[in-house]
Structure 1
């Protein structure tokens, strides 16, 4: 089981701050109170009125910042919003402490129902890919298209490099790891995350690295950081063991929305070999394989991912009438 992670510490562009959370130029944050959960939403002003809505869902340990490189490239195509899942980014923990895939999916559904933005182009990475798969399966009315970047779908053969993240699901491991790494600097932690998540960590600029360290320091100071990580990791492991109609592969087969699958050849957390199985499971799928990408293709190769999303919209007849203006390439 290749449970996945990516702290939002890998944002790669300089930006002013709102409070203690980094916000890229053109972005804005707002807080949305819902029954049992409070969510922070990162958005960009749409290029014009009437663009179809999109919602981006990050992975384990990540945040809406993970989408800051991709969102501006889709400005002319969609009205972009990215969610901080409960307990991550700038969203506080859920009231009921439910960090399961179903619990996170319920938060996404509550937001979409309350905002009236659905159906959306739903885009998820890692844990966010599993969450988005479940949302698309149980609420097809909320999803126009589905784009999954290295989705955390169950694997029988575990990649050795994914084992430490999966171990966070075990009781007491997060606490022990916290003690073991108490003397690690934020710089050391960030380098470790980048080495694990990027196909080529050199893609991160020095400025991006400094921003990442700053964000890591902020996140480590949160009293619930490791609890949210451990409980969400446990949620992935539990989702992997579910069978029947609630199994993620069975739910993938139920997805009606046109689906774009993106896998990296150097992904150390979600095996590249599972890509073909995923392409067969989703009934209306197309597969983009990026041999040099790691676990976060939308951060490593945002232009390529944006072009693929544009092609998905064009192929499915959902490309807005944009004339000669588009940021995703033409």
Structure 2
């Protein structure tokens, strides 16, 4: 495993593996509220993608989605994980899909949480990378506002700190890599070609991607389970962990293998 990638494991090592992949400008800590609800049934593995969280942030690295997927595969190989259900939030769904493309032997099923299917469904103002000037907590929280819809919800301070820790180069290159991946081929087309068992959870109040268009796009994937979440926005694992965990566990109970 490349040493620059931070990996965390929770739950029994002999349980079915469940890999959680965060989205852009986030980290593995975005899953903190969900993980305790999953470890009774799973060996839960989280990674900080290169350029994010506690992983390295080299300026000259390849931040494209397939490269991130190959790093994740190397980390799982190092851990001795032969198969896993893979869940990705937001652009983490692109990394999860790319991992299944790169290593179909490794990914037994996919779960996408509010992952935009194509760029034409994006409705929020474009995210701007940090300019080099230090950002205040209030500025970061304002930029993160479209990631949530629950009234009064405040993102954890740890996630605010992780945004501040990103470099201009890693932020900008990660966003560009995510755009390129969707431009090359929308997620539903990729998922149709894969044929991997798929669950899509999408908040009906998502403020970054148009929910009605996203849900329709994923329903076109043969065999996909597509479940809208009422009263939830772009980050269901943070806004409503119990309901998100219940949907995820019901799916993995049918899909995970030891």
Q: Secondary structure at the match of 2:202?
A: strand
Asked if structure 2 preserves the Cα contact closer than 8 Å seen for 1:38 and 1:94, the reply is no
What is the Cα deviation at residue 134 of structure 1? 1.5
How far apart, CA to CA, are the structure 1 residues paired with 2:135 and 2:79? 41
- Residue ranges of structure 1 left out of the alignment (5+ in a row): 1-32, 169-173, 321-330
Shift of 1:157: 4.6
Q: Which residue in the other structure is 1:313 paired with? A: 252
Q: 2:100 aligns with which of 133, 136, 151?
A: 136
CA distance in 2 between counterparts of 1:304 and 1:189 reads 27
Q: TM-score, normalised by structure 1?
A: 0.71
Q: What corresponds to 2:73 in structure 1?
A: 109
Aligned to 1:187: 138
Partner of 2:89: 125
Structure 2 counterpart of 1:154, from 112, 118, 132: 118
Match of 2:174 in 1: 232
Asked whether the equivalents of residues 137 and 256 of structure 1 are also in contact (C-alpha less than 8 Å), the reply is no
C-alpha deviations, 1:99-147, integer Å up to 9, x for none? 1111111111221222221311111001110110121133211112211
Contact persistence 2:219–2:226 (CA under 8 A): yes
Aligned partner of 1:70 among 34, 40, 43: 34
From 218, 229, 237, give the equivalent of 1:290: 229
SS at match of 2:226: strand
Q: 1:287/1:97 Cα in 2 relative to 1: closer, same or farther (>3 Å)?
A: same
Tell me, yes or no, if the aligned pair for 1:136 and 1:256 is still in contact at 8 Å. no
Choose which of 107, 125, 131 in structure 2 pairs with 1:178: 131
- Hey, what's the Cα distance between the residues in 2 that align with 1:157 and 1:215? 25
SS at match of 2:126: helix
- Alpha-carbon separation, structure 2, partners of 1:80 and 1:183: 34
SS of match in other structure, 2:85: strand
Deviation of 1:185 (Å): 2.2
* Cα deviation, residue 278, structure 1: 1.1
- Greater C-alpha Rg: 1
The answer as to whether partners of 1:77 and 1:319 remain within 8 angstroms in 2 is no
8 A contact 1:86–1:93 mirrored in 2: yes
Distance 1:142 1:184, change over 3 A: closer
Structure-1 separation of matches of 2:234 and 2:113 = 8
CA contact (8 A) 2:188 2:217 kept: no
User: 1:39: which partner in 2?
Assistant: 5
Q: TM-score, normalised by structure 2?
A: 0.89
Cα distance in structure 1, aligned partners of 2:83 and 2:60:
27
CA distance in 1, matches of 2:254, 2:53: 34
> 1:275 matched to which residue of 2?
215
